[in-house]
A and B are shown apart, each in its own frame.
Chain A
């Protein structure tokens, strides 16, 4: 541990208790952060990563009700005695949701706000806005409305606003979690450039570590790593490559997202990643040794769309009549068929119309033209809270179910789903009070309860840690094995490859490719047109293996390294 006096941020045995939780979320964490130092924080869901950042900003204890002991010093000030605004002189924050970070009507005022707050002389502000936008590669964004920015643009503007007042520390709280490949790389470039020019210390919490690190692998991550375990205690603190190597097994088993190299190290006990011939051989060996996932039994068509044109928002009948030309189609000429027992992935960049297509297929958004035939599908929305209608978890799953299902009382089915999705201990809790991962499990369980022929899901893995992602995939597989057809959109291509049998790629307002998933993922032309970038492992696998079941066996093998989750049955 570093001497506290030298550090720009210092935690001294910091412990945080949230109300209504028996165990503390952080326990006696002590650490110091020097000026200009770059740190990544690793740990499974619930390990207190976000809580650690909230302690550094002063949001805990000032805005969030939590009991704290120990001390947190920011630039020598005890955060207990300084307001969040006061601490902002030292600490800047970039949060995960660009929408909530935008508080002003236009980009200029968004970036001017911190300058005004820090009493910068008005004549200087114009030039400072220009410089801040220049540092995030965003000179073209000047004067734009904040509500019309894409996710990546919004995050870059939020970054500019966090850095414009030149705080010596920058906290990055999953800054790329809501972005597609293009958004991630633009934000990553902006962070690098801004850090290079302004030199703040950086504390990063990130799920999608490989995507964030890009082609540099572990070298693309902050130089120092801090690991928190599930109980919120500090497990390791040191140079990133060393920490990842020493703790690889434990990190992977705990269900953390880790860089691929770490995952492979945990599986094979050897470093070097995909470049290492031993690891390559053993991975390919899995495809031979391990029992493979049987090819899906493709059933009949359960949902089909013909000549579908969809729009972003429903237009009133009056508007359609009065000025039909102002309603533009987001997607046109969509023909697709979903088969019983089959899992299909819907791929494409942000804003291409994946959500609108799912809504139209679910019968929730009237298409501009074309038809959808089939029984009414179920749908899991991106934000689980949008779907909750009951006051307890048990009622939530039972919502809309008939009293008797297949000759048995519905209660049996509800109890089974509670157990299967690890929700039994929360059966009487209010859905809105669950953690992010629990909410997601509940929204999936509540929709699966209806056993509709088709299940649609919009980014179902969003915000989950690796363990939770694997268990959600298992639930989808089980549902498909029982004959449901599943269509889901996702940016997590690893999950896509593990789970989906087929893929549909949309770009430029229509479907540009449709077929068996590895044919789609292996078509470089299609991927580049759709702005999809394969993670390194998949990139290599589609290159060296052309048997889908072999690739799936390898991906499943790596998933098995994560400690088994109760109720999860990985098909084999």
Chain B
């Protein structure tokens, strides 16, 4: 098992070098702004811009980028369909006795496209951020307590070992089975339950030992220092400023062009 960041994470890119808390904050601001937008054109303009930014500055593998879209695609299609057939309004077409309205399709498309915008930005964040650096940065920039941050870090270490422990437990329990056939069989619900319970107990015990180990090395004492502080650099501010400028310009275009719609789209 790899020890460093997860295999799809690439921090050696312009986006990877940005401060994790700043990236998270920018992602949050864009999400929040889009909460108030209900026309399809605004997110449709934002999506290609966000995709281009992630591709250029995050340099993810195109295949992984595409694969990572799948969950968002499912969610977006659901949004589109539910809204299309449940919203009253001018009939667009009827399929299998279900009537789709123009208002419903418009709103559904807006929500679906919003999902894609937030999706691609989240993918950009996840693919360019090392979990350890994120925790450090949240500790230093977002003032998350040292005990919580180190608990997360230790948990992250444990999580990486968990597939191996699960496999050992399944092997250890398979050998108890009465069946004469060798091999580790696919677990049924009972077997799955037994293995999950063992994993829980074993992990709790290990977590307890790790907690004791960290406490006995003084975690929780105040004041404390930070060996290698993660700083917010000028480039981080430039990134934040750039993203927000693009957002404001696109929203501004919507206002001047008259296509942007707010909550009013929901009821009329």
Contact = CB atoms under 8 A, between A and B. Distances in A.
Interface stretch (B118-126, B211-219, B233-241): B211-219
Which of A92, A385, A389 has the largest number of chain B CB atoms within 10 A?
A: A389
Contacts, number: 179
A54 to B, nearest CB: 9
A114 B217 contact: yes
Contacts of B157: 102-105, 146-147
Interface string A278-320: 0000000000000000000000000000000000011000000
A494 interface: no
B71 interface: no
B262 to A, nearest CB: 45
Interface of A: 57, 59, 63, 83-89, 91-93, 95, 97, 99-105, 109, 112-122, 125, 145-148, 158, 161-162, 165, 313-314, 359, 362-366, 375-379, 381, 383, 385-389, 399-402, 432, 446-447, 450
B66 interface: no
Contacts of B4: 105, 145
A238 to B, nearest CB: 29
B164 interface: yes
A117 B182 contact: no
Nearest to B1: A147
Contact of B214 (A83, A103, A450): A103
Interface in B195-249: 198, 201-202, 205-206, 208-221, 223-229
A356 to B, nearest CB: 11
A400 B221 contact: no
Given A85-B218, A119-B223, A386-B202, A400 B183 contact: no
A116 B227 contact: yes
Nearest to B214: A103
A122 B226 contact: yes
Contacts of A88: 215-218, 221
B214 A364 contact: no
A64 B164 CA distance: 28
Given A105-B157, A386-B168, 15 more contacts: A84-B220, A85-B220, A86-B221, A88-B218, A101-B213, A103-B213, A117-B219, A145-B4, A162-B216, A364-B175, A364-B184, A379-B175, A386-B172, A387-B175, A432-B201
Top 8 nearest A-B pairs (CB, nearest first) are: A363-B182, A145-B3, A117-B218, A400-B178, A100-B209, A386-B172, A85-B220, A114-B217
Interface residues on B, range: 35 or more
A313 B175 CA distance: 17
Contacts of A87: 216
B160 interface: yes
Contacts of B169: 386
14 contacts: A83-B215, A84-B212, A84-B220, A88-B215, A95-B209, A122-B227, A125-B227, A158-B213, A162-B216, A162-B217, A379-B172, A381-B171, A383-B168, A447-B176
A152 B225 CA distance: 30
Given A100-B213, A364-B175, A117 B201 contact: no
Contacts of A400: 176-178
Contact of B216 (A84, A102, A377): A84
Nearest to B155: A103
Given A83-B220, A381-B172, A389-B194, A119 B150 contact: no
Contacts of A118: 218, 221, 224
B54 to A, nearest CB: 26
